[in-house]
Chains A and B, each alone.
Chain A
Amino acid sequence: MDCYTANWNPLGDSAFYRKYELYSMDWDLKEELRDCLVAAAPYGGPIALLRNPWRKEKAASVRPVLDIYSASGMPLASLLWKSGPVVSLGWSAEEELLCVQEDGAVLVYGLHGDFRRHFSMGNEVLQNRVLDARIFHTEFGSGVAILTGAHRFTLSANVGDLKLRRMPEVPGLQSAPSCWTVLCQDRVAHILLAVGPDLYLLDHAACSAVTPPGLAPGVSSFLQMAVSFTYRHLALFTDTGYIWMGTASLKEKLCEFNCNIRAPPKQMVCWCVYAAHSKERAVVVAWERRLMVVGDAPESIQFVLDEDSYLVPELDGVRIFSRSTHEFLHEVPAASEEIFKIASMAPGALLLEAQKEYEKESQKADEYLREIQELGQLTQAVQQCIEAAGHEHQPDMQKSLLRAASFGKCFLDRFPPDSFVHMCQDLRVLNAVRDYHIGIPLTYSQYKQLTIQVLLDRLVLRRLYPLAIQICEYLRLPEVQGVSRILAHWACYKVQQKDVSDEDVARAINQKLGDTPGVSYSDIAARAYGCGRTELAIKVWVCWSMSHAQGSRPLRAGTLIWVRARLGVFTVLLHLKNELNRGDFFMTLRNQPMALSLYRQFCKHQELETLKDLYNQDDNHQELGSFHIRASYAAEERIEGRVAALQTAADAFYKAKNEFAAKATEDQMRLLRLQRRLEDELGGQFLDLSLHDTVTTLILGGHNKRAEQLARDFRIPDKRLWWLKLTALADLEDWEELEKFSKSKKSPIGYLPFVEICMKQHNKYEAKKYASRVGPEQKVKALLLVGDVAQAADVAIEHRNEAELSLVLSHCTGATDGATADKIQRARAQAQKK
């Protein structure tokens, strides 16, 4: 503990820098880092190495290898590079690896070496080849900037939403700039480049020469430039060994330093501590064997590099990795400095001491504590300890600081516990992800900047589902944001494992996911389908449906088939629909009658047009005809449209060899046109009436001629016409016309209906007229209808028809018809005698 500050290096008066080891790398590199293209993602991200890049001396026949490692050197992926020569590698904000090829194509790979997509940086780049490329991060995402062989710049500020921008030409630029970088100001990406002693700033409109204020004279060339993580600061390294540091806007100089080394540095990193702090600027410069930290101080800190190293700029420091180690260099945060500085009398330091003494059961504990309390700084002391704990890398040190904080808290009234609790939680999470196996060496500040959500995403990206879930549960995140989301990701990953059987995957998914809310099974099924595992997609869905219906339970193959028939098909269906093109989709459906019928139903409600296509594909002309018929009265408003729809329907019916339907449809077309004409000429409502109703309406309106014409045109059978006219005229109570009509020719329906209808209108007088004309078979009925029981009896007796006799008898009521009843009885008796 006493030499805790041993690795602290003072820079100037008040700032200390420390470098500590994060991991010892076990990645077993065969080649030197300098022989590889290297890219490491910020926020403790993964490292990509492209070994054997295209160098002149090597034979082109050897395929290079692209390796991806975690920050702790655990291999994540390794693949043979089969594509063209790569100029530059870089990680996007989503931890996707962007590989910029010489021909301007950018290939995007996932963390596990899975190819995601590729895009091109445009024709101009293709023609002139890529000289150099940078991947940079802005608030919109990750961008790519390219320097082409024609010394022109092309950039895209967001690779997710690719918009290429060609930067203006730099006047008189004949050779490649000695160094360049991308600056981001006011949400716009600029390029700063150095040509000889001049600096140029390129924005998308113009190219302007700039001069850093207070630049020492004698500069003939800039060798290196570095921009800070937040794009606020800039460092320039000149060929005189002079380093200029200032704001990125080039309006203000902050400090300068002369290191007297003229060799161009291999890498330079400029960072500013994220938290507000007095000494917030430093530049790290690396040469082959030397590392120098330069700030606003006459001296610099120098480290010797034993090995070939690579610097990764971070928000609050620099990560330095080599073949054997991975280190972190940063400024000692204020809280730590206060506590651990030699002979510090800061309250935090005293509290830490007090706690130590307390553990030793020494009375000094009380003395220290009293000292703090006397100064009234106990709250401050506790806060200091908590804060310092956050910045410590070693769990032991974190613990002792937290213990001190907890100890101090005991002597405070009403100290809000939040900060302590949250720090404990955060540290637990941080220690978990810093673990060697996980390999995400985040600092506390980085973690706060990144947010827990993004961290979880990154864990998911690394397929560290259990850890992610544990973290969610530990932090008690809402399920939808936390556990469910992760499970869904897990399931999506699971279905992509081709070597596991469908059954096992489905079961595993079902067991894990159970009833977790917020998990979209359709997404999972869709993903499964995306990998060509239709069966699995069905199973995933079915598993869920089953478990959903009655709690989780083991699956059975038998049930599967049945349930699939009803529930699963639909899911797959709709995903198929989205995935395949129409034609293939319909062809697939044709072999699945069950699915087809389901889909038809769905379409009927939701996608009428699709339904049409479906029938078309099948040459199902019958259904196609029906479809158009339905359209003719449901979808179409205008009469022309309706007729057209009917015409299409009729054609379809002809094709389906359904002449009946075709004829009926054609009749309907004629009728529609005619109704339209009637409406125009006569007024009133005719459209959409049936033929029968149309004629009735005409008669009711007194247009007898028209009615008859219509009946002829449509070949209305006589029987129908008579019924129709009879009913209509009776409704009109036009008895005269009715009588005329009845005499126009012999009634094809007989005269009994006349009687009936007249009686319905309660016109006994008219009814009797027709009763006399009713044929002998129905005479009795007719007479009964008009209420002439006596005569009916006579007729029945005359006919000697037993059934008629009993019918009349049943109509004989009480006293009035007593005589008639007797008559019938007599007739019966007589008949029996015979």
Chain B
Amino acid sequence: MAFPHRPDAPELPDFSMLKRLARDQLIYLLEQQHEVDKLYKVENKPALSSSEQLCFLVRPRIKNMRYIASLVNADKLAGRTRKYKVIFSPQKFYACEMVLEEEGIYGDVSCDEWAFSLLPLDVDLLSMELPEFFRDYFLEGDQRWINTVAQALHLLSTLYGPFPNCYGIGRCAKMAYELWRNLEEEEDGETKGRRPEIGHIFLLDRDVDFVTALCSQVVYEGLVDDTFRIKCGSVDFGPEVTSSDKSLKVLLNADDKVFNEIRNEHFSNVFGFLSQKARNLQAQYDRRRGMDIKQMKNFVSQELKGLKQEHRLLSLHIGACESIMKKKTKQDFQELIKTEHALLEGFNIRESTSYIEEHIDRQVSPIESLRLMCLLSITENGLIPKDYRSLKTQYLQSYGPEHLLTFSNLRRAGLLTEQAPGDTLTAVESKVSKLVTDKAAGKITDAFSSLAKRSNFRAISKKLNLIPRVDGEYDLKVPRDMAYVFSGAYVPLSCRIIEQVLERRSWQGLDEVVRLLNCSDFAFTDMTKEDKASSESLRLILVVFLGGCTFSEISALRFLGREKGYRFIFLTTAVTNSARLMEAMSEVKA
């Protein structure tokens, strides 16, 4: 069932080196500290350890610093003296040291950095595991992480050779790219002369395409993520899946033979596939009958283990499927998908709006309601003022007044806006653009210009033909294009852009689209005339998602790769989905 790659598809680079590098560095850091005897999770309670030194391995977050400070200060009060070491991963921020200083413990702790920024979650998926990137950059306008991204790119290029072709779109992408280029130049010579292993790199900001990320996922891996939440490439299957009374943590990657075959499939196919697989498995078991002793011995020693393993995985995924089915195939889900498709295609807006209103009235789920509102806003270039007010009022009544702040966040990020009458909008626009040109500093920053940004989704959709015209039923078993990841209703915008640019090897002819995306200044290409790049490497493409990517996008691009003989490698700040995006924007009571 799973479609094999074309025989000439390039081999993926070996990313286990990244893991090895990170591990060695961590061991080195910890060895300096001597003997680690126990690991604790950093959470807000005192660490009950009698050891003489404490070592914290943390993300550079102010919250964590406060926790460490409280711990150290508690020790001080109790008259204990210990050694403290804080290892920041992937890097140290000045603000953190500042907090330590303000808390009066800067002198008591020593700091280190563990430059572990790339976690290979799968053979083709590298994650920086920085979920906060999204909120920090797209909401707060904090650009500190961009440096981390640049460092990561630099690391990749030192390990796997230079990238001859670079493309990117988005403000953050451009900044990261330029910063990275500077790093490269300063260290010139190191990567020069190496054969490039990866032919293309494509950087893309999440805010270029919010729509795709906001849609319900229907590809198996995406669905599992939406339903059970995949964390760091593994998922906790609860008792309802394992059909026992224990939860089970399962690694989801290409090593899982069963999962590997269904991960990119539309959910409607998965069940059929699994039952087919189960029958095959049974048949293989059944071969036992009529075996003589020798064959039996062979079978037990060689095949049985594999079969058992497969059996276990199969039953797990069947359990997961059942669980998903239970949750999703109800009337509600069908309606939901229908509404989403209607929003994407832009018809029956009134009906969709009242569906959303009902959704809110019934308190189905705060995150889901919010997601639908955002989807409506983006696809429609903002809500009409009446809806904007009434939906928000309804929402506040249903889910609590603190969401007033959520709305303010969403507005700032450009996710949920009000349609402004034409002239005022342009006035704001011109004002903002004036600000930007006036102040050099404004150019780099102003992440808030999204206030005046129109999403122009409808126009883009038309230009890029995102809604495929389908005659009759879309056969999800034999996908024709990337739209299959959304039941044939919508081609993910981000993936379409990548496809188009790769086809043209530049942004040429996409000017209009780029303009509609409000990225005129932030779309770039950079080709080096490298003859060294082998044809194989030129079919290897690294896609960098700044702000997170969804499994649907990954599946779509994998599909594209199979069609065109490419292999895609994904580098993302974190794997995300609609719920995570919304939660990042939500203000929740502490």
Contacts and interface: CB of A to CB of B under 8 A. Distances in A.
A689 B95 CA distance: 36
Given A553-B186, A559-B182, A626 B143 contact: no
Interface in A589-610: 591-594, 597-598, 600-602, 605-606
Nearest to B395: A690
Given A553-B187, A556-B185, A691-B397, A594 B405 contact: no
B525 interface: no
Interface in B92-121: 93-95, 97-99, 101-102, 113
Interface string A768-784: 00000000000000000
Nearest to B63: A605
Nearest to A671: B401
B399 interface: yes
A722 to B, nearest CB: 9
Interface stretch (A158-166, A297-305, A561-569): A561-569
B504 to A, nearest CB: 29
B142 A598 contact: yes
Nearest to A653: B404
A690 B400 contact: yes
Contact of B444 (A548, A594, A664): A594
A383 interface: no
Interface string B178-200: 11001101110000000000000
Interface in B39-56: none
B402 interface: yes
Contact of B95 (A570, A597, A629, A691): A570
A597 B589 contact: no
Contacts of B91: 549
Contact of B589 (A601, A688, A714, A756): A688
B506 interface: no
Interface string B139-150: 011111011000
Nearest to B402: A633
A668 interface: yes
B448 to A, nearest CB: 8
B353 interface: no
B62 interface: yes
A668 B136 CA distance: 29
A215 to B, nearest CB: 56
A601 B140 CA distance: 7
A475 interface: no
Given A559-B186, A563-B147, A626-B405, A593 B442 contact: yes
Given A562-B175, A566-B146, A593-B445, A692 B404 contact: no
Given A566-B147, A601-B140, A606 B99 contact: yes
B389 A592 contact: no
B73 interface: no
Interface residues of A, number: 58
A660 B183 CA distance: 48
Interface class of chain B by DSSP: helix
A262 interface: no
A622 interface: yes
Nearest to A598: B142
Contacts of A723: 358, 361-362
A571 interface: yes
B102 A606 contact: yes
Interface string B386-423: 00010011101111111011001000000000000000
B27 interface: no
Interface in B491-516: none
Interface class of chain A by DSSP: helix
A567 B146 CA distance: 11
A682 interface: no
A149 to B, nearest CB: 48
A719 B587 contact: no
B36 to A, nearest CB: 22
Contacts of B389: 660
A756 B113 CA distance: 57
Given A606-B62, A606-B99, A665 B94 contact: no
A219 B183 CA distance: 85
Given A634-B590, A661-B404, A692-B363, A570 B98 contact: yes
B2 interface: no
A630 interface: yes
A565 B144 CA distance: 8
Contacts of B357: 719
Question: In this complex, which of A566, A594, A714 has the most chain B Cβ atoms within 10 angstroms of its Cβ?
Answer: A566
Contacts of A570: 93-95, 98
Given A549-B151, A556-B186, A692-B363, A664 B143 contact: no
A556 B404 contact: no
A108 to B, nearest CB: 29
Given A593-B441, A606-B99, A562 B182 contact: yes
A218 interface: no
Contact of A566 (B98, B101, B143): B143
Nearest to B332: A756
Nearest to B405: A626
Given A593-B442, A749-B358, 4 more contacts: A522-B101, A553-B187, A717-B394, A723-B358
Closest 5 CB pairs of A and B: A597-B141, A605-B62, A668-B401, A690-B400, A594-B445
25 contacts: A549-B151, A550-B151, A550-B183, A550-B187, A553-B187, A562-B147, A562-B182, A563-B179, A566-B144, A566-B147, A567-B147, A571-B94, A598-B95, A629-B402, A630-B405, A634-B589, A664-B392, A664-B393, A665-B404, A691-B397, A692-B363, A692-B397, A716-B397, A717-B394, A719-B361
Interface of A: 522, 541, 545, 548-550, 553-554, 556, 558-559, 562-563, 565-567, 570-571, 574, 591-594, 597-598, 600-602, 605-606, 622, 626, 629-630, 633-634, 660-661, 664-665, 667-668, 671, 688-692, 714, 716-717, 719-720, 723-724, 727, 749, 756
